[in-house]
Amino acid sequence: MPSLTETPGVMSLLRHATEGRRSKTGGGGVFKMFKLLPMLSSGCKMVALLGRPSKTMLADKAIAVTFFGYRRGRVSLAIQEDPRSPPFFLIELPMLTSSLHKEMASGLVKIALESETRTHKKKLVEEYVWAVYCNGRKSGYSIRRKQVSDEERHVMQLLRGVSMGAGVLPCLSEKDAADGELTYMRARFERVVGSKDSESLYMINPDGSGGAELSIFLVRLK
């Protein structure tokens, strides 16, 4: 099986990200908010604060991408057309939420999802099995969710009015709280479709600075 560095599709996407977006990334956008998570004591206040997006921010066709999970559990990735629509791509990544936090602390994160399915009868985002890489290192395999769980629905409902931000959400039950606080990070992403077998998502920094602090690549092997 080809590794990430041996896969032409992923390498093409990574080159596009590097060559087409050569600008300073100072970690001044959503990542700065994310670093404040240890200081947050109430997710409800954070949701209320970020639940009033300006009309200009929602006027374009940018999609919403959300990372969420318990601090001592695995992190999930949800991609939506807008914050109020159901996710068209939902997957639990093979990495701990705390590990993703550490990667984000570095100021630059690239996540690649590689489908080894060789049939092309499905749309790229409809593939089920994905190999997951974070900053060039393979994390493992994940299976895309066919149905939204009660807990995932709980998170999506709480964040219906949030266009971007990071914070702590109330847990669905006290039992779930045993895995630590339920954290989230949501941002708007530019979606670039390279072909039927490749897509790229680039985070749009809220402060208007150039460069994507977080990029997501989806590629299907040919």
**Which pLDDT tens digit goes with each residue over 53-74?**
443 344 346 899 999 999 889 9
Total tally of structural domains belonging to the chain = 1
Res. 197 pLDDT band, cuts 50 70 90: very high
177 inside domain:
yes
Verdict on whether the full-model pTM lies above 0.85: no
162 inside domain:
yes
Provide the residue type at 222 as one letter.
K
56 inside domain:
no
> CA torsion sign, 182 to 188 to 192 to 195?
positive
The three-class DSSP label of residue 4 is: helix
Parent domain of 198: 63-220
Q: Which tokens belong to 118? A: 């060789």
Q: Is the pLDDT of residue 76 over 50?
A: yes
DSSP 87: P
Q: Is the pLDDT of residue 129 over 70?
A: yes
20 inside domain:
no
User: In the predicted model, what is the mean pLDDT of the chain?
Assistant: 77
78 inside domain:
yes
25 inside domain:
no
43 inside domain:
no
Listed in sequence order, the residues at least 6 apart from 175 whose beta carbon sits closer than 8 Å to its beta carbon are none
What tens digit of pLDDT does each residue of 134-180 get? 999 999 999 999 999 999 999 999 999 998 888 999 887 766 666 78
Q: Is the pLDDT of residue 36 over 50?
A: no
208 inside domain:
yes
